[in-house]
Structures are given as C-alpha cells and as structure tokens.
Structure 1
Amino acid sequence: MLKGISDSLQVQQRSQTVAPTTSMQQPVKEQTKTNVARIPSHRLESYNKWARVTQGQHKISAQQVAEQGLQQVQALLKQLQNHSQQSIKADSSDSVNQALQIQQKLAGLDISYQGTQLVDHQLNLVSVQRPLAKYSFSLKSVDLTAINSRDEHVNMHIGNETVRLLLPANAQPKELLQRLDSALKPVDIQVGKSKDGRVIFKSNKSQWQQVQAGILMTGQGQRLPAGDARTIKVNEELSWQDPREWRFNNPEALKQTLAKITKTRQRIDSQLQELNNSQRHVQQQLHQVNRQKETTLELDSTLDQIKNLMQPSPFSLQVTSLMAQANLSRTQVSALLI
C-alpha cells in the first residue's frame, strides 16, 4: 500500500512540471488553498498525528531490521572466531575452509529496509554520524600525480560522464592531487593519499560498480599513452573493518584476523545497545501519543533522536500527498497509513 502511495506521489510531482492548458486557468496554488480550506481542523490534526505516529513506526521497523541484521553478524563473527582459534591450535585445513565460508557470508549480507541500506560493507550501522562507508581503490600502473616536464590533458570516462583535467608541467604532487580531487568531485569521487603515500580514490557503491572493471582514460603521452582511450585497471583498497580483508592463510595472519574480529564484535555490541535504548524510548513516546488526545506532543523531539541513529525516511512526502487529497475520509486515510 505504501508503494502505491509513493507511486501516486511521483505521478503528482511529475504532473506539476507540465504547463496547464488554456481550459485550466485557475492557478494551482489557489486550487490547493481551496482544497485545504475545506478540510476540517480536527481532520487536519488527525492527519498530522497519524502521519507522525506512522513515521515513528517506520523508524522502529527499520531499527528492528538493523538489530536482527547485527545479531546475525554477531553470530557469524562468533563462529568465525572459533574456527580461527581452532586453526591456530591445530593447523586444521577444515577449520580454515569453514572460516572462509563464513567470511563469504559476512561479505554477502544485505541488511536494508524498504530499499535503504542499514549496515554497510564494513559492518557499520548506518546513521547520520556514520554514513555509508566509501569504496576505496587505486589505479594500476598509472600515477597521475607524477611530476612531468610537459602539460598533459587527461580525459577520464566514468559511466556516462567524462572528466577533463589539465596536469600542468613541473607541478608538484600536492597540486596535482588537488586538481584531480577537484575534477572528480562532480562525479562524487574523492581523491587523497594513503599512509604510504599512494593516491587513493573513494566513491559510493554505484560509482564503484562502474569503475571496478577499469576506467577508460586518454592522455598525451606524459603519464598516459597518447592515442586511443585505454582501460586503466583499478585495485580495491580494503579497510581492516571489511571482512573481505581478513586473512586465514598462516598463523600470523590468523592472529591479526582474530584481533580484528574481537574489535568488530565490540563495535557491534555497542551499536546494538544504541539501537535497543533508542527503540525502547521511541516505543514509550508512541504509546503516550496514542493514549492522549493532544497531537502536538514530544514526537518531534523523539523523531529527531531517531534520526541520530537511522537515516531519514521519505514517508513525509507520502503523507503530504495524502493530505493534498482533501476528499479522503478518516477511515480511508487510516487504512492507507496502516
């Protein structure tokens, strides 16, 4: 039902961009004001209350999905920890193989709610303070920040976008890095340096999916071969928080992996506690709203607190679309919001 509301809203938003015909002279704003004026005040208050309560319920649902997902992660991490310890003690190939299978499960988890990702690929709960982790990569066999005695114009083709930049002659690596970062910002790719001085690119998931097979680039023979465009391959740079980075092939690697698993379990325990505390508080506030007649309670501040843990929901847009339809009865609106 919510999907249908969302589709209705999208149609409404698109229709607003179409110019009215000559037979429809009444301005849209005046017509909207007329419709709103016909809605009784008690019904508007009810719409407002139902919208806020349902939005809070969506937040709780998202928290519950995230909680279940993190609990699943914890269970897999505990199994992985046990198999890693067994591998160190007995040098068991079976334990290593089982650990690798669990690693694949962790890397393949998709914890989301209504299309919104709740836990990223580094096993971090997504929130306002913790946005989705970026994907990091470097270029194979090409250093765009190398000093050269001649200017070079470089084109980079990323998806449907073409990035053009000038790498000046005799420019220092720091200046070249800044130019590269500025040129790639419009396509949502950041450029920086790793601890060991290598050029590292960071992008969101959609951009990473476009470039992981390589980036089509053209140069003028200074840092890149002149002539036709060439596909420059990339190397993904994995963070220690990403389970794909963990290694099990020798005792020393297993010890390092065990330390990473321990840190990850502690981090997830902390995030589960955050979710539990917030969810309990929100449920109490929603119960209070449902018991009282007033519609302007503490739900605003409660929803603000939820936003600190979970990403904002587009539900307000759906409610705006519903409230614009003044001819709906109380029963109809209530059914749509359930």
Structure 2
Amino acid sequence: MSTVNSVVDTHNIAQRSQTVTAAPTEQATTLETQKPLEKSAIPTHRLESYQRWATVTQGQHKVSAAQVAEQGLKQVSTLLKQLQKQAKASLVNDPNRANMANQQAQQLQQQLTDVNVRYFDKPLLDHQLNLITAQRPAAKHQFVMRSVDLASPKARDEQIQVQVNGESATILLPGNSDSKTLQKQLAKGLAPLGIEVSNSASGTRFASDSQHWQQLQQGILMTGQGQRLPAGEPRTIKVQEQLSWQDPREWQLGSNEELKQAIAKITKSLFKVEQQLSEIQDAKQKMQQQLHKINRSHSQHTNVEQTLEQLHGMMQTTPFSLQVTSMMAQANVSRSHVSALLKS
C-alpha cells in the first residue's frame, strides 16, 4: 500500500501547486482536465498483478478444499475396508469370534455414520458417502409421512394447512382425483417449504435437503377439513426417513443373510469411494500444475482460469470466490490488507 499511497500523494501535491499559481478561469479549466486523472484506475500492470494474485489465491483455496475432500475420502475408504473385514469375520462358525467381530463392525459402522468432512463450514461429503460437486449436489433425505396419506383419493375437496419451522403453505386437494393428480398438487404446494414429492412402489415419498431435513425431523404441523386430516387444531405429523443402500445406517449386521447383503453394499460403496478419490486426486494435481505455471509466467493466466472452471466441476463453490470478486473491486489495497480481510 505504501507504493500506491506515494503515487497518490505525489499526484495530490502537483494538483495543489497548479491550483495556487493558476488564474481563476485557468484553475477551473485545469480542474476539469484533471478530473479524468482523479478517476483513473491503478496502472494496468498493477491491476494485472492483483488479478493474477487473486486468481492464484482462489486456485489455492480450491486445492485446499480438494485436499480436505481427499483426506475425508481416504478416511472413509479405510473405515469401509475395516468394516468389510469385520463383517466377513462375523460369518465364522466360532460364536465368540463372530460376536467380537460383529461388535467391532457395528462400531465402524457408527464411525462411518459420524464422518463429517467440511471446508469453510460447507459439507464435502453427503450422508451417502458421495463427494458433493457443482454437478452433483448432496443426496436428498427421502422420507414418508406416518399416519396420513395425503395422496389418497377422496370424494370431496380438502384444503390443508402445512407448517414447518414458522413457514406455512395452503394446498387444495381436489375431490375425485387420482393419486398422481394429488401428488402434483402436493409437489406444487410443498415446494416453497423445501419438500419434494415423488411416487414410489410403496406410495407417496417425500424428499428434502439436509438443512430442511433437520427441521422436518421434529414433525410437520398440519390442519385439514376432515377428509385426510381432522379439522380444528393443527396435528403433528411424524416423518420416517427411508434410507438408501448407500447410507451406512441402512446396512444390517444381524443375521448371516443380513451380513452377506451388507458386505455386498460395503463392497460397492468402497468401489465408489475409491473412484471418487482417484477423480479428486487427478483434479487437484492438474490445478497444482497450473498454479505452478502461473507463478512463473503471466502468459498462463488464461490456462489457470480454465483450470479453475474445471476444478469448479469437481468442488462446490467456496465462500472465498465471492470474497475475491469483492476484493478486486478495490484493487488499491495491499496484499497484506487483502489477506487480513479474507481471514476476517
């Protein structure tokens, strides 16, 4: 910043000297001609330097996020291998050995469930052990509503009120309509509450992202008109999560048959995780190579921006990218000042 300030100070001193010596008419003319100079930006080479530094720093944050995801996937891979081993050991004929192995398998299963990989407080892995990317968002939480079937056909119209975490929606369920028509009405009405609706072999199924799921687990307040829901006071409808085979919580480690099915699911999950680990390692290596090039040459700026876009496909956007955009609008601050702001 001292270099930038010295340039600005010198420019201001020159302006004051000209103002004292010039005639009034000349002073106005001089000030008018100097206005463009006052509005002029930092020299092009300096702006390029800031832009280059910002691009590299953003790339370094992308690499850091990839490294965190890589370590998380390695942890998951190790736990899956250990769980696979203990699940197989639970099938031995020796009851004592089988029981001990099963206990260890259940502990490993719980550790997998508790894995929480984050960068800048944003999750990098979802509850199904999938890497979260810009193209592949976190898996939704599937659930059903207990003790009520909102898509069941009825002879009369029914208007229901749905309340979740202080937000509410009113949905009209027409009479003499089939389940598919009612599901479409539900989907339209529940969308503002962060709830999706779909049809499955077992009936109507709902889904939400992790943030909304935390709220929905407490139950959903509903009021009807006596067709599917009682009229009057709101009723709390409990929800029950429907787990995917990819979710470690779904794996049953009880009977031998359940263990065999669990081992098959563990094996498929391990293959998936190893594949994702390879992908993130390749993306991280490419980014590191590009960052190394741009640190040596200005001509590599375009390549780095292209690689940033490629890595963006592997890693979700971090808060840092938004901060860089804001910082570049005030390019007359020093690198140390920018660093301090970014840490705040």
Q: Smaller-chain TM-score range?
A: 0.7 to 0.9
Distance 1:127 1:320, change over 3 A: closer
Q: Aligned pair 1:213/2:213, yes or no?
A: no
Instruction: Provide the aligned length of Structure 1 versus Structure 2.
Output: 305
Deviation of 1:327 after TM superposition, in Å, equals 4.0
Decide which of 280, 284, 291 is 2:289's aligned counterpart: 284
Residue aligning to 1:87: 90
Name the SS for the 2:299 alignment partner. coil
Residue aligning to 1:110: 116
Deviation of 1:107 after TM superposition, in Å, equals 0.7
Name the SS for the 1:149 alignment partner. coil
Q: Which has the larger radius of gyration?
A: 2
TM-score (norm 1): 0.86
Residue aligning to 1:267: 272
1:75-126 deviations in Å (ceiling 9; x for gaps) = 1111111111011123522222211111111111110111111111100011
| d(CA) in 2 for partners of 1:184, 1:35 | 55
Q: Aligned pair 1:329/2:322, yes or no?
A: no
Q: Aligned pair 1:123/2:126, yes or no?
A: no
1:134-164 deviations in Å (ceiling 9; x for gaps) = 0111011100111111111101101121011
Distance 1:132 1:262, change over 3 A: same
Check the 8 A contact 1:134/1:203 in 2, yes or no: yes
Q: Aligned pair 1:148/2:154, yes or no?
A: yes
Residue aligning to 1:67: 70
| d(CA) in 2 for partners of 1:264, 1:322 | 42
TM-score (norm 2): 0.84
Superposed CA RMSD in Å reads: 1.9
Check the 8 A contact 1:50/1:334 in 2, yes or no: no
Residue aligning to 2:27: none
| d(CA) in 1 for partners of 2:47, 2:168 | 49
Output the amino acid matched with 2:89.
Q
Check the 8 A contact 1:46/1:295 in 2, yes or no: no
| d(CA) in 2 for partners of 1:264, 1:285 | 32
Q: Aligned pair 1:307/2:312, yes or no?
A: yes
Check the 8 A contact 1:36/1:326 in 2, yes or no: no
Name the SS for the 1:141 alignment partner. coil
Decide which of 36, 41, 44 is 1:41's aligned counterpart: 44
Output the amino acid matched with 2:290.
Q
Deviation of 1:313 after TM superposition, in Å, equals 2.5
| d(CA) in 2 for partners of 1:330, 1:146 | 63
| d(CA) in 2 for partners of 1:298, 1:36 | 32
Output the amino acid matched with 1:49.
R
Decide which of 48, 53, 64 is 1:50's aligned counterpart: 53
Name stretches of at least 5 consecutive residues in structure 2 with no aligned partner.
Answer: 1-35
| d(CA) in 2 for partners of 1:229, 1:330 | 57
Residue aligning to 2:138: 132
Residues 242-261 of structure 1 aligned to structure 2 (within 5 Å):
242-261=247-266
Residues 20-35 of structure 1 aligned to structure 2 (within 5 Å):
none
Residue aligning to 2:166: 160
Output the amino acid matched with 1:43.
R
| d(CA) in 1 for partners of 2:142, 2:340 | 46
Q: Aligned pair 1:294/2:329, yes or no?
A: no
Deviation of 1:70 after TM superposition, in Å, equals 0.5
Check the 8 A contact 1:55/1:315 in 2, yes or no: yes
| d(CA) in 1 for partners of 2:38, 2:305 | 26
Name the SS for the 1:298 alignment partner. helix
| d(CA) in 1 for partners of 2:59, 2:311 | 8
Name stretches of at least 5 consecutive residues in structure 1 with no aligned partner.
Answer: 1-32
| d(CA) in 2 for partners of 1:307, 1:224 | 46
| d(CA) in 2 for partners of 1:202, 1:279 | 33
Check the 8 A contact 1:35/1:326 in 2, yes or no: no
Distance 1:258 1:178, change over 3 A: same
| d(CA) in 2 for partners of 1:64, 1:296 | 23
Output the amino acid matched with 2:160.
V
Residue aligning to 2:184: 178
Residue aligning to 2:102: 96
Output the amino acid matched with 1:38.
A
Deviation of 1:314 after TM superposition, in Å, equals 3.0
Output the amino acid matched with 2:74.
Q
1:140-194 deviations in Å (ceiling 9; x for gaps) = 1100111111111101101121011011111111100000001111122110012
